[in-house]
Amino acid sequence: MPSQEAIAQTVNRYLEFLSKGSADDIASLYAADATIEDPIGSDIRRGHDAVREFYAAVEGIKKETELVHLRIGGSEAAFFWHLTLDAGGSRSRLSPISVMRFDDDAKITSMRAFWSPTDMKVL
């Protein structure tokens, strides 16, 4: 089982890479057969190619992330965070709750994000 410190480091790197990194940077945090369900109820994506494709869709958008609360138990983490998107003349914020499961090397094996389009707020 990964340490709480290793899990916290992966979560923080995930948020850092999401705001300032590339899809490849983010994919490097995931295990080879990882799954993403973002948002909950959407099709589940599996494997590095699907992970990379998912994050490549938002790679060129100016964004900021902020970790609000992080809870770690065993090999899982749940965290509430803000994603602020800057689309030129307008800014909006989404505040999902993400749940991640990790392998022994603190690589993400699954990520599930709880949010819906009605949660998006214009700033």
Q: Which residues are catalytic?
A: 14, 38
* d(C-alpha 108, C-alpha 91), whole Å: 29
Give 54-101 as a DSSP string.
HHHTTTTSEEEEEEEEEEEETTEEEEEEEEEEE-SS-EEEE--EEEEE
What lies within 8 Å, CB to CB, of 5 at 6+ separation is none
* d(C-alpha 111, C-alpha 35), whole Å: 6
Report the b/e string of 89-102 with b at 16+ CB within 10 A.
eeeeebebebbbbb
